Amino acid sequence: MQINTNDFNYVPSFKTKMTEPIHSGNLAAKKRLELLDDANYNLFKIDSNDVTIDFLTDSGTGAMSQEQWSAMFLGDEAYAGASSFKKFEKSFQDIMGMKYILPVHQGRASERTLFFGLQKLGVLKQDSIIASNAFFDTTLGWASQFARCENLYCDDFDLGNATKKDFKGDLQLSRLEKLVNQNPNKVNLVLLTLTNNTGGGQPVSMKNIKELSNYCKIKNILFFMDACRFAENAYFIKVRELEYKNKTIKEIVKEMFSYFDGATFSAKKDAKVNIGGSVLFSKDHEDIFLACRPFVIQNEGLFTYGGMAGRDMEAVAQGINETTEFSYLQNRIGQIEFLHKALFTIGIPLIHPCGGHAVYIDAKEYLSQIPETEFRADMLVALIYAIGGIRCVSIGNVMYAEKDSKGNILKPAKNDFVRLAVPRNVYSLEHIFYVINVFEKLHKVHSLLKRGLKIGPGFRNDHFDHFDCNFELLDTKNFETSVLRGK
Ligand code: F0G
């Protein structure tokens, strides 16, 4: 592979002071085959000590800065009114401009708190609809208990790689208008995911945020942000949306949030911490804040710690200050764009353009020789692990397809992606080179696979099967041959 040093014409935003060993670098491919078999081909059941490069998720897996670690020593662990909460609260007020802040232990708790609060207020009723550019797994798990959920991708996303539009994470306004017209007064909440994790990690434009916000105001629909990757989204607005070129990331973030009534937030992503979250409300929504607060007390802890230690809140407050700096984001997204470019050069079919936190492979296209009902993305996930010890995740049929009670696919999901989610500030370019090298090997053998996987015993058919379902290999011989030839 040719390296173009012009891809790195920026100064890296950090250097490394502490290291963590990788134990499994010399694991034989044969051993990985055994481990896969023991784990029923579900990578969530593999020990991290048996993983060489862990691209399973960017959630809670980042490396904190020395400023975050030292802030943790200042943690005030008081049950009520901790000074660490004050800092936590102020950081969301200062950076996002939101007024009312509830702490929770992670993103899904934030969603649950919001939905219970909105139900209590009578905003979410039995026949309500929540619209999104796309719900992620656990968000869908909670939201669908309170309302009908609709994914309203934009036309550019649906056109796939036929178009290279910059903001394929947008929610198509015309689709929202249609949904609202067909269901008068039923669409009570729009939850916009920045960036769109289910949809290839694609960002949402400020233009789209503004037009949705205007429309929701006119129609009296609450407009909330799933803010997991808000800073990465702001970076794309800066570098891809011309009129924001000269604004700072912090200015863009402030403006983004100003169009929303509130937000759910998993601090495990763009606050660069290992645990934490919050629910945020604008100055106009003290009512929703007060309705949600008892659910924090009941499920998370008092509303000045919400399931976090004081030290965790210190790390979050410092973290969102750092991730909203351009130099951090340039380094972060630059690394992912480099990997994206390299895998594209090898010939791996990817989602274009590159998204924020991950590179997405189109397994439908890459393993098109395998029947669509045989979990191509999960088969590819297993192959990637077996060849190089790289752990990644499927976002496709096992998560979203319609299935019968035994796990047979009745209606395939819209997409069948493999996501390589890159943890923040954890891996160096050498690690990325290793990954590229594994993909060069894999590319030579992937077409040897003839069959995929089926779901084995213990299937529940709920929103969380991908975390613990058992797969069975349909063609052991060809799988082992491709792994052993690819190693
Ligand atoms: N919303 C989005 C868009 C997410 O990506 C996630 C988590 C959540 C909500 C829930 O947050 O994990 O803190 O409860 N995504 C992780 C992932 C797990 O791998 O993408 P959480």
Domain ranges of the chain: 5-58+326-486, 66-322
Q: Is the peptide bond before 195 cis (omega within 30 degrees of 0)?
A: yes
Expressed in angstroms and rounded, the spacing between residue 386 Cα and the centre of ligand 1 is: 26
Instruction: Select from 47, 222, 59, 51 the least CA-distant residue to 136.
Output: 59
Expressed in angstroms and rounded, the spacing between residue 264 Cα and the centre of ligand 1 is: 11
How large is the average pLDDT for residues 426-453? 96
**Taking 80 as the threshold, does the pLDDT of residue 274 lie above it?**
yes
Model confidence at 163, pLDDT cuts 50, 70, 90, reads confident
How large is the average pLDDT for residues 116-145? 96
Q: Say if CB 336 and CB 345 are below 8 A apart.
A: no
**Taking 90 as the threshold, does the pLDDT of residue 8 lie above it?**
no
- Which residue of 151, 269, 395 sits with most ligand 1 atoms within 8 Å of its CB, as the best mutation to test the pocket? 269
- Which residue of 136, 226, 280 sits with most ligand 1 atoms within 8 Å of its CB, as the best mutation to test the pocket? 136
For ligand 1, atom 10, the nearest C-alpha belongs to 107
Q: What integer best gives the mean pLDDT of the chain?
A: 96
Instruction: Please report the pLDDT score of residue 10 as a whole number.
Output: 85
CA distance from start to end of the chain:
18
Per-residue model confidence as pLDDT tens digits over 457-478: 999 999 899 999 999 999 999 9
How large is the average pLDDT for residues 203-212? 98
Cα separation, 292 vs 303, whole angstroms: 10
Cα separation, 213 vs 216, whole angstroms: 5
Per-residue exposure over 415-450, b if at least 16 CB sit within 10 Å of its own CB, e if not: bbbbbbbbbbbebeeebbebbbebbbebeebbeebb
Is CATH 2.60.300.12 correct for 5-58+326-486?
no
Element at 263 (helix H, strand E): strand 262-266
Element at 266 (helix H, strand E): strand 262-266
Instruction: Select from 434, 348, 325 the least CA-distant residue to 388.
Output: 434
CATH architecture, domain defined by 66-322: 3-Layer(aba) Sandwich (3.40)
For ligand 1, atom 11, the nearest C-alpha belongs to 107
Atom of ligand 1 at shortest range from CA of 196: 3
359 beta partners:
420
Model confidence at 242, pLDDT cuts 50, 70, 90, reads very high
Model confidence at 4, pLDDT cuts 50, 70, 90, reads confident
149 beta partners:
130
Q: Distances from the Cα of 22 to the Cαs of 41, 289, 339, 357, 442, in angstroms?
A: 22, 44, 20, 22, 22
**Taking 80 as the threshold, does the pLDDT of residue 487 lie above it?**
no
**Looking at this protein, which amino acid is placed at residue 437?**
N
CA angle 416/422/423 to nearest 5° reads 135
Q: Do domains 5-58+326-486 and 66-322 have the same CATH topology?
A: no
Cα separation, 188 vs 130, whole angstroms: 6
Taking the complete model, does pTM exceed 0.95, yes or no? Answer: yes
- Do β-strands 417-421 and 358-362 pair in parallel, antiparallel, or remain unpaired? antiparallel
Atom of ligand 1 at shortest range from CA of 268: 13
For ligand 1, atom 19, the nearest C-alpha belongs to 57
Model confidence at 164, pLDDT cuts 50, 70, 90, reads confident
The pair of three-digit structure tokens given for residue 217, joined into one six-digit string: 């105001």
Instruction: Select from 451, 461, 439 the least CA-distant residue to 41.
Output: 451
Instruction: Select from 211, 272, 204 the least CA-distant residue to 240.
Output: 204
How large is the average pLDDT for residues 370-393? 97
Instruction: Please report the pLDDT score of residue 23 as a whole number.
Output: 86
Model confidence at 161, pLDDT cuts 50, 70, 90, reads confident
Atom of ligand 1 at shortest range from CA of 229: 3
